[in-house]
């Protein structure tokens, strides 16, 4: 089996490069943002963010997934405006229950400090986060893409605005509604869920599936029986709920299609991930991206993920004279 994949890798690379080129051409510019926005005003901006993300991932590989999640949580509240980065007690967005465990703030702040020293008042925190999420995926053996830039930073950050974030306990119908409200399709829902191919979560976010699903004192029947035992060992009933569990068993640091293969087998950790198999439309995408042949060795998912990230990255962006360019990402000017 190993030699089979070695033989296919060069082919995958050629196909991926060609498809990503075609895909990113579709998103080179939008009505709001554009690729190469800082080419004149701060030509080293993207390189500085990349170097910063690289350094942090070398110190802590799990921060890659944190950055992708941080970008998602920013965009899904009031658009990709960096509002999740603002600190300041329990009233701000990052303190909302839906943002429990969100991390990667220090990476964005580090990149911002370097950019302020090089190009003061030019590069927004919202753009830094968008670039950092892309670099995190690329450095995790995933796809890369051209990030349209030109976002400005929002001045409002309220915990109450995060109340309608997608939740691991949401039904597929509810998730479809929440994604549609942001202009994202069912395909985007499945593709962006595929970001769980890297990273981990706390037992507290899914342990109810192991012991008291739907208040039944039973386990969630959609969990594969062999996987149930593994999860119960990692998350004992009397545990504190903070133990970490990989979202993609066996491949938590590599951005690949293993997540879809696991969900197809009943190995989804979060309920929302496993529920992708309960709906005919979402399950068809899971099977498409998880199959060796139908997934084109992962190329189809790579292209779809890049396109969905660009699409999500343009939700509710502030451009032109709207918003501001923060001097520090954790506070408004």
Q: Angle, to 10 degrees, between the axis of helix 125-138 and the axis of helix 105-118?
A: 120
At residue 273 the predicted structure's pLDDT band, cuts being 50, 70 and 90, is very high
Q: Does the residue 299 lie in any domain?
A: yes
Give the whole-angstrom CA distance, residue 176 versus residue 148. Answer: 26
Cα→Cα distances 312→64, 179, 209, 284, Å = 18, 10, 30, 22
Q: Does the residue 255 lie in any domain?
A: yes
User: What's the pLDDT tens digit per position in 82-134?
Assistant: 999 999 989 999 999 999 889 999 999 999 999 999 999 999 999 999 999 99
Mean pLDDT throughout 327-332?
A: 97
Last residue of a domain, one of 124, 141, 165: 165
If one counts the domains in the chain, the total is 2
Q: What one-character-per-residue DSSP string does 4-46 give?
A: HHHHHHHHHHHHHHHHHHHHHHHTSB-SS-BTTTTTTT-TTHH
Active site residues: 73
Give the pLDDT of residue 299: 76
Whether 74 has a binding-site annotation, put simply, is yes
Whole domain around residue 150: which residue ranges? Answer: 28-165
Give the pLDDT of residue 67: 98
Are residues 123 and 208 both part of a single domain? no
Are residues 37 and 147 both part of a single domain? yes
Are residues 141 and 160 both part of a single domain? yes
Are residues 37 and 144 both part of a single domain? yes
Q: Does the residue 318 lie in any domain?
A: no
Q: Does the residue 202 lie in any domain?
A: yes
Are residues 108 and 198 both part of a single domain? no
User: What's the pLDDT tens digit per position in 183-222?
Assistant: 999 999 999 999 999 999 999 999 999 999 988 889 999 9
Whether 79 has a binding-site annotation, put simply, is yes
CATH number, domain with residue 77: 1.10.520.10
CATH number, domain with residue 283: 1.10.420.10
State how far Cα 243 lies from the chain centre: 21
Whether 62 has a binding-site annotation, put simply, is no
Are residues 81 and 122 both part of a single domain? yes
Q: Does the residue 321 lie in any domain?
A: no
Are residues 233 and 125 both part of a single domain? no
The C-alpha R_g of the chain, in whole angstroms, comes to 20
Whether 197 has a binding-site annotation, put simply, is yes
User: What's the pLDDT tens digit per position in 41-61?
Assistant: 999 999 999 999 999 999 999
E strand segments, 144-235: 200-202
Are residues 101 and 217 both part of a single domain? no
Q: Per the structure block, which two tokens stand in for 318?
A: 């502030």
Whether 93 has a binding-site annotation, put simply, is yes
Are residues 201 and 125 both part of a single domain? no
């Amino acid at each position: 089996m190993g030699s089979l994949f070695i033989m296919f890798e060069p082919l995958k690379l050629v196909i991926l490069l060609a498809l990503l080129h075609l895909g990113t051409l579709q998103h080179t510019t939008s009505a709001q943002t554009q690729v190469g926005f800082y080419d004149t005003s701060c030509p080293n901006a993207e390189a500085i963010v990349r170097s910063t993300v690289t350094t942090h991932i070398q110190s802590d590989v799990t921060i890659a997934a944190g950055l992708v999640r941080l970008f998602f949580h920013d965009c899904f509240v009031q658009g990709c405006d960096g509002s999740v980065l603002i600190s300041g007690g329990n009233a701000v967005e990052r303190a909302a229950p839906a943002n429990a465990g969100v991390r990667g703030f220090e990476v964005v702040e580090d990149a911002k400090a370097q950019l302020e020293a090089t190009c003061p008042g030019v590069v927004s925190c919202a753009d830094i986060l968008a670039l950092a999420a892309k670099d995190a995926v690329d450095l995790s053996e995933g796809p890369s893409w051209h990030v349209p830039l030109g976002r400005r930073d929002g001045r409002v950050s309220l915990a109450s605005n995060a109340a309608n974030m997608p939740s691991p306990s949401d039904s597929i119908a509810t998730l479809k509604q929440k994604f549609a409200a942001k202009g994202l399709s069912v395909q985007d829902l499945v593709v962006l869920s595929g970001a769980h191919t890297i990273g981990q979560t706390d037992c507290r976010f899914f342990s109810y599936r192991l012991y008291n699903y739907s208040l039944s004192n039973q386990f969630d029947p959609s969990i594969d029986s062999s996987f149930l035992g593994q999860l119960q060992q990692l998350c004992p009933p009397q545990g504190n709920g903070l133990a970490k569990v990989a979202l993609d068993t066996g491949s938590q640091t590599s951005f690949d299609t293993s997540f879809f293969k696991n969900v197809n087998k009943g190995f989804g950790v979060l309920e929302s991930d496993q529920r992708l198999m309960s709906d005919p439309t979402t399950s068809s995408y899971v099977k498409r991206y998880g199959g060796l042949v139908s997934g084109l060795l992962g190329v189809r998912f790579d292209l779809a993920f890049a396109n969905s990230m660009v699409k999500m990255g343009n939700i509710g962006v502030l451009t032109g004279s709207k918003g501001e360019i923060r001097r520090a990402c954790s506070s408004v000017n």
